Structure 1
Amino acid sequence: MRYHAILLTILFLLAGIAPPVEAGELFAPGVISTGLQETSSAFSPDGHTVYFMRSDFMEKDDTILVSRLSGSQWSVPEVASFSGQWHDSEPAMSPDGKRLYFVSNRPVSPGGEPLTVEMMGQRYPGTNLWYVEQLANGKWGEPVHVDGAMNDGNQVYNPSVAANGNIYFSAHRPDSGKFYQVYVARRTATGYAAPEKLDLGDVEQNRMDPGVDPQERYIVFASSGPDSLGSADIYISFRNADGKWGKPEHLPGDVNSAALENAPVPGRAFGELYVSSSRSDAPTYPKERDTLATLQHRLAAAANGSRNIWRFDISDVLKAHGITL
């Protein structure tokens, strides 16, 4: 079977076609993926703890939850120790598991006003980057505001951390143009350098929600490119030998759909990719006649059009670009 898979990959490459992606699976349906909005998974190094965001459909009430794996079952989620009072979302774990970054509208100074931002005449919760650090007892410390240029503008989203400490994120900044773009703030001996915009192609499109490989060999992100199947799809860019990012490639197979896909996160196992998707199990008509109970059960379940977390295997795509571990 393995020989067959390798042969297929070679044939795809010779034909100039991206190798297939394994069919996705809904992540922990009914426990983590529910009829509400779930997105932005962040796993501990052993893969046995996951932090994620759960919200209402309008995403006005974002909270970070945590669930732990026991045997083959994920526990009923709890509100993370550092969340539950503010508009908190988009957790991201450092590769060593010692820091967890997230974005929040909480005041920068105690007793201050919550962060807000105005867009097209409407006011929304603003977002700054924060982190919690793991204490000696394994618990998280108090949230720490990330000072400096990364938080300029109160529109910082989806942090992702490389093994060397570089922080990738999406934001709307003075050099973003009309749309959101992806940036990196490089770790230095004295802190972080000023954020740099990544060259990922056409700036007349949103480039959001970066998920970087810990070794920075590739980056996945959400965008509304001309080949998108839905309002946003997942793309991948590989780092060239000169350090520049290659032309983004639309991920093949089941990763993308006619629904919204965003918040891609490389998992802890090779080739794992977690994606938020609003794909749904729409009924076929005529459907079996519903009762009130069956209707409400289906409408409240996962895959009802709310965003859920899905797991995919993109190992063949990585192997086709020379990444094997």
Structure 2
Amino acid sequence: MNRLRAVFALMVIATGSLFAQTAIPAASMYLNQSRPGMTPKVFAPDRVSLKDHYEYGSVFSNDGKEFYYAVIINSKPQIRCIRFEKNAWTAPKIIIASEKYEYNDPFLSPDGKRLYFISDRSANGQGQKKDFDIWYIERKQDGWSDVPINAGPAINSEKNEYYMSFTKNGTMYFSSNGGTSAATDKNYDIRSSAYSKGKFQAFRKLSGNVNTENYEADVFVSPDEQYVIFCAERPEGLGAGDLYISFKSKTGEWQKAKNMGSIINTGGYEFCPFVTSDGKYLFFSRDGDIFWVKAEVIETLR
């Protein structure tokens, strides 16, 4: 444990290059919060999940030093970040917000150099709001770039794209109702798009073991692409929206998704799943608060 407190920089490999990085003391991880067990509990009720705000959609950076989440202020979601600096966690800082547009569902690229999110902003950020697309900003030495970049036509359609996550090789998993009609536009499906030669490739829909004629969205894919956790609105669910999980078979096919059960799901709405890079905790959102639980719950469902 002492090595976590060492003042010497650890050398870690990221995107093919080396950079110096000091680790966070173990007790300071996860905003100094006491760890949950196998029963979900509200995350950071004194700092993040506040009673007078609606928070959702959270992600920690791989090194554990940054925590991003969305919060609704004056009916408009914005993205905030809490950082570990000078041996302490900062107050939440607004990363991107607008009085006209919504910004939410933050997620970092595998190398941490891009912050992805969804927004209904216009193409130039000045016109009327449109459907939700996936966008990103780029990390600079002094913070994040100011002008969002659209993730492109391989990802975004004329309809809505929601919540993204990534495999370790950069393949994006996301959801969309692109291609639906007015009568079927609540039928969101989960898609994947490989990242190659600096751009996303044509998407592929996951099989019928994951996608149905109901709503499937908010997908978290494990970095090794061995399971996906997602929100679905299905008649047999425990609440308005439940978390489901699908594991890959030994032959590389997605198995039939199963409800994650009453340990996770309630009569409310569970969505926005995320598993920390150390594999220890599952985060998700429920009715305006962010929850976390031991990720061992995933293994009980295999």
Q: Give the shorter-chain TM-score range.
A: 0.7 to 0.9
Equivalent of residue 50 in structure 1, options 44, 67, 70: 67
Q: Name stretches of at least 5 consecutive residues in structure 2 with no aligned partner.
A: 1-36
What SS does the corresponding residue of 2:267 show, helix, strand or coil?
Answer: coil
> Are 1:130 and 2:135 an aligned pair?
yes
Correspondences of 1:181-192 after superposition (within 5 Å): 181-189=189-197, 191-192=199-200
Larger Rg: 1
In 2, the alpha carbon distance for the partners of 1:103 and 1:208 equals 13
Q: Does 1:247 align with 2:261?
A: no
**Paired letter, 1:24:** P
**Structure 1 32/259 Cα, relative in aligned 2: closer, same or farther at 3 Å?**
same
Q: Deviations over 1:93-124 (max 9, x none)?
A: 1232221101112221354x1332xxxxxxxx
1:32 aligns with 2:52: no
Residue among 149, 154, 163 paired with 1:158: 163
Letter in 2 for 1:115: K
Distance (whole Å) between structure 1 residues aligned to residue 295 and residue 259 of structure 2? 12
Provide the C-alpha distance between the structure 1 equivalents of 2:206 and 2:86, rounded to a whole number of angstroms. 40
Q: CA RMSD in A?
A: 2.5
1:227–1:154 distance in 2 versus 1, CA, 3 Å: closer
- SS, match of residue 245 in structure 1: coil
Amino acid at match of 1:38: E
Relative to its length, the structure with more helix (as a share) is 1
Q: Partners of 1:202 and 1:28 in 2: how far apart?
A: 33
Q: 1:313 to 1:73 in 2, by over 3 A?
A: farther
Question: Is the Cα–Cα contact under 8 Å of residues 153 and 172 in structure 1 kept in the other structure?
Answer: no
Q: Is the 8 A contact 1:271 1:318 kept in 2?
A: no
The verdict on how the C-alpha distance between 1:127 and 1:202 changes in structure 2, with shifts beyond 3 A counting, is: closer
User: d(CA) in 1 for partners of 2:40 and 2:60?
Assistant: 18
* Count of matched residue pairs: 259
- Once the 2 structures are TM-superposed, how far is the Cα of residue 242 of structure 1 from its aligned partner? 2.7
Residue type at the aligned position of 1:161: F
SS class of match (1:215): coil
Q: Which residue of 2 aligns with 1:114?
A: 128
Q: Unaligned regions of 5+ residues in structure 1, if any?
A: 1-20, 117-125, 279-306
Which structure: greater strand fraction? 2
1:233 maps to 2:238: no
Separation of aligned partners in 1, 2:214 and 2:194: 24
Q: Which residue pairs with 1:168 in the alignment?
A: 173
Where does residue 79 of structure 2 map in the other structure?
64
Secondary structure of the residue that 2:40 maps to in structure 1? strand
Give the 5 Å matches for 1:1-325: 22-35=38-51, 36-56=53-73, 60-69=75-84, 74-80=89-95, 82-84=96-98, 86-109=101-124, 111=126, 113-116=127-130, 126-135=131-140, 137=141, 139-142=143-146, 143-174=148-179, 177-178=184-185, 179-189=187-197, 191-199=199-207, 200-201=209-210, 203-278=212-287, 307-318=288-299, 321=302
- Equivalent position amino acid for 2:68 in 1: Y
SS at match of 1:53: strand
TM-score normalised per structure 1: 0.73
Which whole-Å CA distance do the structure 2 matches of 1:161 and 1:259 have between them?
27
In structure 2, give the amino acid aligned to 1:139: G
Per the alignment, in what secondary structure is the counterpart of residue 298 of structure 2? helix
Whether contact under 8 Å (1:41, 1:52) holds in the other structure is: yes
The one-letter amino acid paired with 2:72 is S
Partners of 1:317 and 1:87 in 2: how far apart?
32
